[in-house]
Amino acid sequence: MGEFIIFNLIFMKTYKLIKDLPTWKAGDTFILKENGNLFGNENGTEVMVYFSATIEKFDILNNEEWFEEIPQKPKSIWDLKEGDDFWFISISNIYKHTIDTYESFEMCYLEPGNVFFTQEEAEQELNKRKAIQRVRKYCYENNIELFSDEELKEILKNNADDNYLKITHFYNIYYHELDKQFYSSISNSKKYIDYFYFKEIEDVEQVIKNCESDLKIIFNV
């Protein structure tokens, strides 16, 4: 008789009816709520279809002849709306906040990339940022030179120029999934999504040796 549009009910499951029932048609969709009750939509009105006790007693929703579960797209920060909660990073900690007005939320948090759907995601990103800074600090304190983004951009531009005689190499760190180890790599023509571009390969090896715990946080391994 109708279909639901689901916005902020991440605990719900949606089911589609396979065969006609006396008051419902094949193809109608139903919502299983957190309390275990099944609801349908009748002319825009939410209607109870089965109580949780009935569903459990007759194992209704696991009967593939009658119902099929509809996979739901995981909710993300792009689905948030006014009244929803989100997490953000401020200075050196994470905080939970409720969206008052979407325009303010979008401008102050969403567009700058400071919105996280869960506390765990916010904590992971904060730990990653801190780990990156610790590695950069280690490089500074040990006279390890890194290429800046602008320097790297100029290097790649010059290396691609046939009239430019000097080819400059740079080094970075990658993680080998099979070996479960960090290694150094060399390049002169590709800019990877990376955080550190080294001038000397010995510096890469030194950082791998002395900053492994932070590298694991950064690479999420």
Which residues have a Cβ under 8 Å from the Cβ of 86 and sit 6 or more positions away?
A: 77, 80, 96, 97, 99, 105, 109, 115, 116, 117
Tens digits of residue pLDDT in 4-54:
433 334 457 888 889 888 888 899 988 888 788 899 888 888 888 889 888
Higher pLDDT: 104 or 7? It is: 104
Residue-level pLDDT at 203: 96
Radius of gyration of the chain (CA): 27
Side-chain-side CA neighbours of residue 111 (13 Å): 7
Residue-level pLDDT at 10: 42
Global pTM value: 0.68
> In whole numbers, what is the pLDDT of the chain averaged over residues?
86
Joined together, the tokens standing for residue 86 give 């989100």
Residue-level pLDDT at 33: 86
Residue-level pLDDT at 191: 66
Q: Please say if the pLDDT value at position 2 is more than 50.
A: no
Q: Please say if the pLDDT value at position 3 is more than 50.
A: no
Contacts 24+ apart (CB under 8 A), 205-208: 206/142, 206/144, 207/135, 207/138, 207/139, 207/144, 207/173, 208/173, 208/182, 208/183, 208/184
**Pairwise CA distance, residues 171 & 84, whole Å:** 44
Residue-level pLDDT at 8: 39
- One-letter identity of residue 86: F
Q: How confident is the model at residue 163 (pLDDT cuts 50, 70, 90)?
A: low
pLDDT (mean) for 113-123: 95
Residue-level pLDDT at 95: 96
Backbone angles phi, psi at 175, to 5 degrees: -110, 125
**Closest Cα to residue 108, out of 89, 129, 123?**
89
Residue-level pLDDT at 9: 40
Tens digits of residue pLDDT in 171-210:
999 999 999 999 998 887 766 667 899 999 999 999 999 9
Joined together, the tokens standing for residue 93 give 């900690």
Q: Please say if the pLDDT value at position 162 is more than 90.
A: no
Q: Please say if the pLDDT value at position 60 is more than 90.
A: no
**Pairwise CA distance, residues 130 & 105, whole Å:** 25
Residue-level pLDDT at 20: 87
